[in-house]
Structure 1
């Protein structure tokens, strides 16, 4: 009963994170022509601020386990790369394309889990992962004007980095690390990494741009806390399919705010990837029932 309750909580949290991250991407796009590093800094500064407040309020912090330090560094490094790639894609692609490429992360979680968590992958699971990658190829050239869209490739790399980061979120959860502390470490690490770029390539911002980045940071904080809570409550194989609601939110924001409409290749790619996600969801559920 408790396991079922946690699964429902995980589903709710993952949908909340999808909405928040779609909103974050919309605000990042609204911030206009600013370097991805500058956008990342302000986004993570806001998230760090809220994480520290919540940690102080609950009196939590580092678990003290030395083995978790390396996991925190890997999660933070991979997450930072993922953010920078995602922001670049958001600035150069339509929101739904950038979001879908970033949502390849659950499939990369499965791949990384083989090596990190020593989980076994079946032939059916491998086929589904390959199918999702084939679907992403249709988004890699969304305009159909070239064989490969460089921003789309960078967006896919962002999804891969995010997949590695989320794999280590799960590892840290299993090792008893405080979720808010994980968010604080990631946000602080990202701020430190982007400070040198900010010092040497700072672009003056208007009030609207600054406000957009603050709002992006607030949305990102909501997304980070929600996704961390989601993976703490339930395994990715049980809840990851619900993360694809971000594409719906992104398409709505993209159309309403920027008048963006995905082309036919992108829609086909969305359909294939979402279909693979649903198949993976049912396959994992069937395997779990077979074990019980």
Structure 2
């Protein structure tokens, strides 16, 4: 499962390096999602989500303290950081809840409705203007999601609604991120890790299953990969703007399908492949229009 840029920091721009970091993040997140699906076969999803976030916190907090000390925990917009953290942990929990029932490729494809939702919420809460071309692309992307989900047919599963809900929660977090100005990337990552760990820790007593050594090892691996994936995204957006780099996140659809087949023997059907392709094309066109608008603002006619 992918992420949004948490902050931009000063660095010599290198668009190619940014693209490579983002592609690397899609590989890492796909591996983490496959491990997550494996864990949900024996452990409750909230516990698996807690393992992911607790490990993430254990990785990111020491790194943050080494880089900048406790001062990096001081946010200029702490309430927004907490709200963003709630959106992100809600997204992770809902996505993980879907994995016992859906192939990783299907859940990932449905989750990629998030850019459409981010665009819609940006209009409502950020006052952004969206032209008919991007609305049309959003409608096409939603059709792609419906092709994957296939409501009203025998292939429909209510579990398919979980990645859509996860995408909605992610979109809320992403829109809030755009209102957080001035905080360091580590501050945002630390808040995400801490908020997620606290929320999920509160859920643990309700359905705890003691993991064995293998499950603990898988949980630690999943959490470390989750942290690495987020850091790769930070590095990616240091080197280029979102409209140029973001389209490469759709490479994750390829990794999700390939790893799902290699590990679980699940082959995406023609409907999923078609729907995922339409979703990706919609997202690519939306990113293209974002870039056109950015250039028009920079170089007005």
- TM norm structure 1: 0.89
Q: How far 1:283 sits from its partner (Å)?
A: 2.2
The alpha-carbon distance between structure 1 residues 133 and 120, as it changes in their structure 2 partners (threshold 3 A), is: same
Q: As a proportion of its length, which structure holds more helix?
A: 1
Q: How far 1:287 sits from its partner (Å)?
A: 2.9
Aligned partners of 1:198 and 1:248: how far apart in 2? 33
Superposed counterparts of 1:44-193, under 5 Å: 44-60=53-69, 61-62=71-72, 64-66=74-76, 68-141=77-150, 144-146=153-155, 148-172=156-180, 175-193=181-199
Aligned partners of 1:288 and 1:48: how far apart in 2? 35
Match of 1:15 among 10, 14, 23: 23
Contact 1:94 1:254 in 2 (8 A): yes
- Check if 1:246 corresponds to 2:252: yes
The alpha-carbon distance between structure 1 residues 78 and 231, as it changes in their structure 2 partners (threshold 3 A), is: farther
Q: How far 1:187 sits from its partner (Å)?
A: 1.4
Name the structure 2 match of 1:237. 243
Match of 2:272 among 254, 263, 266: 266
Q: How far 1:9 sits from its partner (Å)?
A: 4.5
Structure 1 spans left out of the alignment, 5+ residues: none
Q: How far 1:20 sits from its partner (Å)?
A: 1.6
Contact 1:44 1:190 in 2 (8 A): yes
Structure 2 spans left out of the alignment, 5+ residues: 1-9
Contact 2:115 2:171 in 1 (8 A): yes
Deviation string for 1:46-100 (max 9, x for gaps)?
110111111111124447454x112101110100110011101222111111111
Contact 1:105 1:159 in 2 (8 A): yes
Query: RMSD across aligned C-alpha pairs, in angstroms?
Result: 2.4
Name the structure 2 match of 1:285. 291
Aligned partners of 2:13 and 2:226: how far apart in 1? 26
Name the structure 1 match of 2:3. none
Contact 1:79 1:186 in 2 (8 A): yes
